[in-house]
């Protein structure tokens, strides 16, 4: 019985010493982390703006440019390409698979617009 109490006391003492050591090393760790953060590459908003993904909101009324951006195709794509792009984009964004119902409706609207306005 007394050995259990002694072992518990030694365990608590070990935890206390380890905690004190960790707290004393904390300023050194923070300094190292700050130096490492300075060496990280800077975030460049210009490169994000020029990426292939459209980062803007939706227009009030669907147009050819917006529909093509939503489906990820050129505005002059054929009906076959529109259909293939629709399947690809909808497979990822379908509400039954965790996608947004609003985005799914915009994808459907884009497909319908391009099919209606494509020769």
pLDDT tens digits along 52-80: 555 667 878 888 988 998 899 998 889 99
In a domain, 67, yes or no: yes
* SS3 state of residue 72: coil
Q: Are residues 63 and 36 in the same domain?
A: no
Q: Is the dihedral of CA 104, 107, 108, 109 positive or negative?
A: positive
Q: Are residues 60 and 111 in the same domain?
A: yes
- By C-alpha distance, which of 72, 94, 93, 70 is closest to 81? 72
- Residue showing tokens 């459907």: 108
- Looking at every residue in the chain, the average pLDDT score rounds to 82
Q: Are residues 34 and 65 in the same domain?
A: no
Q: Are residues 23 and 68 in the same domain?
A: no
User: pLDDT tens string for the chain (119 positions)?
Assistant: 688 889 888 999 999 888 888 777 777 666 676 777 777 666 555 554 455 555 667 878 888 988 998 899 998 889 999 999 999 999 999 999 888 899 999 999 999 999 998 87
């Amino acid at each position: 019985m007394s050995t259990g109490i002694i072992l518990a006391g030694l365990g608590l003492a070990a935890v206390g010493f380890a905690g004190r050591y960790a707290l004393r090393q904390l300023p050194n760790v923070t300094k190292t982390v700050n130096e490492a953060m300075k060496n990280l590459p800077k975030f460049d908003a210009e490169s994000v703006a020029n990426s292939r993904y459209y980062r803007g909101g939706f227009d009030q009324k669907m147009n050819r440019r917006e529909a093509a951006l939503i489906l990820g195709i050129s505005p002059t794509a054929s009906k076959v390409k529109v259909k293939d792009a629709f399947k690809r984009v909808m497979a990822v964004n379908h509400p039954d698979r965790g996608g947004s119902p609003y985005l799914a409706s915009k994808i459907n609207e884009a497909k319908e617009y391009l099919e209606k306005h494509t020769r």
